[in-house]
Amino acid sequence: MINEIFGVWNYWIVFTLMMIGLYIVISKKSLLKKVVGLAIFQTSVFLLYITFGKIAGGTAPIITNNSEEIYSNPLPHVLILTAIVVGVATTALGLALIVRINKAYGSINEDEISAVDLVDYHEKFSEKKNK
């Protein structure tokens, strides 16, 4: 029983990280923290791929004279290299948007931004009435 649960400890780490990241994205009001949560969430997926590409005692998949050597599956690592680049792009785009949002709204808090939007809406509405 214990073996069954803790034998797959790497998957536990992966899914704990995943839930932490997802929780941050959902619960935090700060836009910056959401991007950080998203980065954690994506990192957990990188770990998931790498953890089933790894064989205990396996080496890097380089051809040597010793043909009996065990090597880890290189494909998940390559896939994750691509996914890391995508993750960097996502984070960079998110941060760039936050910079622009901060410039336009003067805040990066979700509630304050919607408050600004609400004020704008009412001003527009009252302008129309005055006409």
- Kindly state whether residue 95 participates in binding other proteins, applying the rule CB under 8 A: yes
- Kindly state whether residue 117 participates in binding other proteins, applying the rule CB under 8 A: yes
Q: Which of 1, 93, 13 is nearest to 45 (CA)?
A: 13
- Are 18 and 37 in contact, with CB atoms under 8 Å apart? no
DSSP 8-state secondary structure symbol assigned to residue 109: B
Among 96, 115, 118, 119, binds other proteins (CB under 8 A): 96
Segment lying near other proteins (by CB under 8 A), choices 2-10, 64-72, 81-89: 81-89
Please tell me the distance from the alpha carbon of residue 89 to that of residue 83, in angstroms, as a whole number: 10
Among 8, 70, 86, 119, binds other proteins (CB under 8 A): 86
> What value, to the nearest 5°, has the Cα angle with vertex 38 and ends 110 and 106?
30
Subset of 9-28 contacting other proteins (CB under 8 A): 18, 22, 25, 28
| Integer angstrom CA distances of residue 18 from 9, 14, 22, 64, 81 | 14, 6, 6, 37, 19
Tokens representing 18 are 């995943």
Contacts with other proteins: how many residues (CB under 8 A)?
A: 51
- Residues of the shown chain interacting with other proteins in the complex, contacts defined by CB under 8 A: 18, 22, 25, 28-32, 34-35, 38, 41-42, 45, 48-49, 52, 60, 62, 76, 79, 81-83, 85-86, 89-90, 92-109, 112-113, 117, 128, 131
